[in-house]
Amino acid sequence: MTGKRILLGITGGIAAYKIAYLIRILKSKGADVKCVMTPASSDFISPLVVSTLSENPVAIEFWNKGSGEWNNHVELALWADLFLIAPATANTISKMASGACDNLLLATYFSLKCKTIIAPAMDLDMYQHPTLLRNLHQLIADGVQVIPATSGKLASGLEGQGRMEEPERIADYLNEAIYSNIISERKLLITAGPTYEKIDPVRYIGNFSSGKMGFELAEKALLMGYQVTLISGPVNLELVHPLLKRIDVLSARDLMDCVEENWSSQDVGIFAAAVADYRPIEMASQKIKKKSADFELKLIRNPDVLEWAAKNKKKGQYVMGFALETNNSSEYALSKLNDKNLDAIVMNSMENEGTTFQSDWNKITILNRDGTSEYFDKKPKSQVALDILNFIEKVC
Ligand code: CTP
C-alpha cells in the first residue's frame, strides 16, 4: 500500500474504537491516511487519537470555528485513491443510499471519483432489517463495495452478525481493492459444509466439515460483486448480504434438490460441500435401542450433486469441484476432474497438517481441465478464497 492515499470515514458506532488499530495497520503498510469523521463518531473515538495516529488533521465540520477555515470536501475527495467508511452505521448507509448530504463525510462521499468501500457495524436485527438490506442493495448498484459484518458478541450483549470486520481483515480487503479491479456481476452457486444423513430421530452420519471454505468463497465473491447462491449443510456460520441468497439444507438429497432448482440460472458453480456419499437405506422412526453386541447399518448411495451439475451444464457455465484426499491426492483429484467432467478441481490434502476440516488455513492446488495446474502456498482460507475466485476470473 506504499504511497496509496486512503481516506477513512468514521461514523458513530461503538466499533469506531477499532479504527485506531486500523489506522496503525494502514500506516505500517506505507499508506497515507486522512480521516473524515461524523460529529457523532467523536463520542466513540477521540479526534485527537485519530489525528495523532494518521499524522494528519481530522475533518469533522465544514467550518473549523477556531481557525475560521473551512474543510474542503472536494479537495479531500479528489485526494483519495480509495474511500473506506468504517464503521458504517445504518444511518450513514441510509443517507448515502438516499442522497442526503447533511455532514462533511457525506459531502465528501458525493464528491468522490475513487472506489468506496464500507464496513457496516450494527446490532443483528438492524443488520437484517429489510430497509438496511434495500439501502445496501442501492449502494452496491451505485458501485460501493460492502465488507460484510461478522458474527460474534455485539455491544448490545446479543450474539449474531453485525460486528465490524476486524481491522487486519479490513486492511486485506483494501489491499485487494487497490490492486485488483475485478468486479464481477456474474451469478455464482456455492455448496458448503457437511451433510447429515439421519439414522433415527437423534442420530446421523456426518463429517467434520465446518463450511469455512465455502463461506469465505461466498464472502469474497460478494465483495467482488457476484450474486451468490450459497447452499449450505449444517454449520455454525452466519452471512447476510444483499447479494446473497442463502439456503440451509440438511442431507445430500436436500442439497441435490436445491442445486437442481437453482443451477440453470447460474454462471459459475463451486462445489465445496463435503457431501455424504451414503445414507441409511431407511431412517428409523423411533430412537434405535441397543440390543445386541453389534449393529449393522445398511447404506445406500446418495446422488452426486457435482456430477449432476456438470452433466447438466449449459454452454457458458463453469463447474469447479473440490477434492479432499488423505493419500494419492493428485491421482484421485485428477480422476474426479475427468470422471465428473469438471472445468477445474481444487485439491487439498489431509496430509498438509493444520489445513482442511475445521481449520482457518488451507493449502490448495487447482487442477485445470487442460492438464495444467496451479500450486498455492498454505494460506488463511480468506486468502485461498481470493486465489480461487481470481483463478476463475482468469480462465472464464
Ligand atoms: N460431491 C457432491 N456430491 C456427492 C459427493 C461429492 O457434490 N454426493 C462433490 C463435492 O462437493 C466435491 C467433489 O464432489 O466437490 C468431490 O467430493 P469427494 O467427497 O472428495 O469425492 P467423491 O466424489 O465423493 O469421491 P470419494 O468419496 O470416493 O473420494
- Domain shared by 218 and 285, yes or no: yes
The residue-averaged pLDDT of 20-30 equals 97
Which whole number is the average pLDDT over 190-200?
98
Q: What is the mean pLDDT of residues 12-22?
A: 97
Residue whose C-alpha is closest to residue 389's, from 332, 326, 376: 376
* Domain identity same for 116 and 202: no
Residues 172 and 195 in one domain: no
User: pLDDT digits over 113-146, tens only?
Assistant: 999 999 999 999 999 999 999 999 899 889 899 9
* Residues in Cβ contact with 315 at an 8 Å cutoff, skipping those fewer than 6 apart: none
Ligand 1 nearest-atom number relative to CA 322 = 15
Give Cα separations from 181 to 63, 138, 145, 367 (angstroms).
36, 20, 12, 25
pLDDT at 356: 67
HSE (CB half, 13 Å, CA atoms) of 288? 16
How many other CB atoms sit within 10 Å of the CB of residue 147?
A: 25
Peptide bond into 87 cis (omega under 30): yes
Mean pLDDT of 201-227: 92
- Extract long-range pairs of 218-221: CB within 8 Å, 24+ residues apart: 218/190, 218/192, 218/244, 219/148, 219/382, 219/385, 220/382, 220/385, 220/386, 220/389, 221/184, 221/188, 221/190, 221/385, 221/389
Give the pLDDT band (50/70/90) at residue 385: very high
The number of distinct structural domains making up the chain is: 2
Pocket test for ligand 1, best of 268, 299, 306 (most atoms within 8 A of CB): 306
For the chain, percent of residues with pLDDT exceeding 70: 98
**Given the CA of residue 324, which atom of ligand 1 is nearest to it?**
20
Q: Clarify whether residues 35 and 60 are in a common domain.
A: yes
Q: Which of 2-6, 189-193, 377-381 has the highest mean pLDDT?
A: 189-193
- How far is it, in rounded angstroms, from Cα 256 to Cα 237? 21
Per-residue pLDDT averaged across 339-350, rounded?
94
Query: Looking at the structure, do residues 107 and 128 belong to the same domain, yes or no?
Result: yes
Closest approach atom of ligand 1 to CA 346: 15
Hey, which of 313, 320, 336 would you mutate to test ligand 1's pocket, going by the most ligand atoms within 8 Å of its Cβ?
336
Instruction: Lowest mean pLDDT of 4-8, 83-87, 173-177, name the range.
Output: 173-177
CATH number at residue 86: 3.40.50.1950
CA of 251 to the centre of ligand 1 (A): 14
How much distance in Å is there from the Cα of 227 to the middle of ligand 1? 25
**DSSP assignment, residue 261?**
H
* Model confidence, pTM: 0.76
pLDDT at position 243 is 81
Decide if 85 contacts 116 (C-beta within 8 A): yes
Higher-pLDDT residue of 55 and 75 is 55
Q: Mean pLDDT across the stretch 267-275?
A: 98
* Higher pLDDT among residues 72 and 385, named by residue: 385
Could you tell me which residues are beta bridge partners of residue 168? none
Same domain for 310 and 386, yes or no, is yes
Q: What is the model's pLDDT at position 255? A: 98
Is ligand 1 within 6 A of the CB of residue 393? no
Q: Which amino acid is at 67?
A: S
pLDDT tens track for 289-309: 999 999 999 999 999 999 999
pLDDT of residue 260 exceeding 60: yes
Banded model confidence at residue 179, pLDDT cuts 50, 70, 90: low
Q: 150 and 202: one domain?
A: no
Least confident of 17-21, 23-27, 147-151, 181-185: 181-185
Q: Which amino acid is at 137?
A: H
The answer, yes or no, to whether any atom of ligand 1 lies below 6 A from the CB of 310, is no
Query: By residue range, what is the domain housing residue 134?
Result: 5-179
3-state secondary structure of 84: strand
Question: Which pLDDT score, from 0 to 100, does residue 349 have?
Answer: 83
In this structure, the answer to whether residues 126 and 198 fall within a common structural domain is: no
**Rounded distance from Cα 114 to ligand 1 centre (Å):** 43
When pLDDT is averaged across residues 326-353 and rounded to a whole number, the result is 91
Q: What is the average pLDDT value for the chain, to the nearest integer?
A: 93
- Ligand 1 atom closest to residue 303's alpha carbon, by position in its atom list: 8
Cα dihedral 236, 222, 19, 11 sign: negative
Instruction: Grade residue 183 by pLDDT with cuts at 50, 70 and 90.
Output: low
Which of 97-101, 161-165, 359-363 is least confident? 359-363
Quick one: pLDDT band at residue 96, thresholds 50, 70, 90?
very high
Average pLDDT over residues 78-90: 96
Instruction: Check whether residue 172 and residue 192 sit in a common domain.
Output: no
> What's the pLDDT at 184?
66
pLDDT number for residue 396:
86
Cβ neighbours around 169 below 10 Å, total: 16
221 conformational bin, left if phi > 0, alpha if psi -120 to 50, beta if neither: alpha
- Check if 192 has its Cβ closer than 6 Å to any atom of ligand 1: no
Catalytic residue list: 207
Beta carbon of 329 within 6 Å of any ligand 1 atom: no
Give the domain-ending residue among 132, 160, 179. 179
pLDDT in the model for residue 257: 98
CATH (domain of 323): 3.40.50.10300
Q: What percent of the chain has pLDDT over 90?
A: 74
Tally the residues of the chain: 396
Asked if residue 111 lies in contact with residue 74, where contact means CB atoms within 8 angstroms, the answer is yes
Place 246 in a pLDDT band, splitting at 50, 70 and 90.
very high
Boundary (domain end) residue, out of 145, 179, 213: 179
Q: Which protein residue has the closest C-alpha to ligand 1 atom 24?
A: 277
pLDDT band at 64 (very low <50, low <70, confident <90, very high): confident
Domain end, chosen from 155, 179, 203, is at: 179
Residue 285 has pLDDT above 70, yes or no: yes
User: 64 vs 230, which has greater pLDDT?
Assistant: 230
pLDDT for residue 42: 96
Same domain, 99 and 227: no
pLDDT at 182: 57
- 217 shares a domain with 152: no
Q: Mark whether 214 and 141 lie in a shared domain.
A: no
What are 127's strand-pairing partners?
Answer: none
